[in-house]
Amino acid sequence: MENQKRTLAKTIIYRGTTTILLFALSYILTNSLYDTSLITILFNIFATVIYYFHERMWGKITWGVNQNKEILDIK
């Protein structure tokens, strides 16, 4: 299982990337900076928390991991 700092770093990088996409799409659809900001902020608060716990849960699942904690190539 990876440590919490690694999970947190992955979460922040992922959320940063998706925030840019969400902001752009929201602005295209609403043409309002206020609405776009509100949508982006609220979504990212909830999505970040969900993603963090999702990663922690997957860190405890042993499927696809061998005894040495290396990820197996599953086809």
* Average pLDDT over the chain, rounded to an integer: 86
Amino acid at 17: T
Which tens digits make up the pLDDT trace of 48-57? Answer: 899 889 989 9
Copy the structure tokens of residue 22.
């969400």
Which tens digits make up the pLDDT trace of 9-57? Answer: 988 898 889 899 999 999 999 999 999 999 999 998 898 899 889 989 9
Q: What are 58-63's contacts with CB under 8 Å, separation 24+?
A: 59/1, 59/2, 59/7, 60/1
For the chain, how far is it from start to end, CA to CA, in angstroms? 22
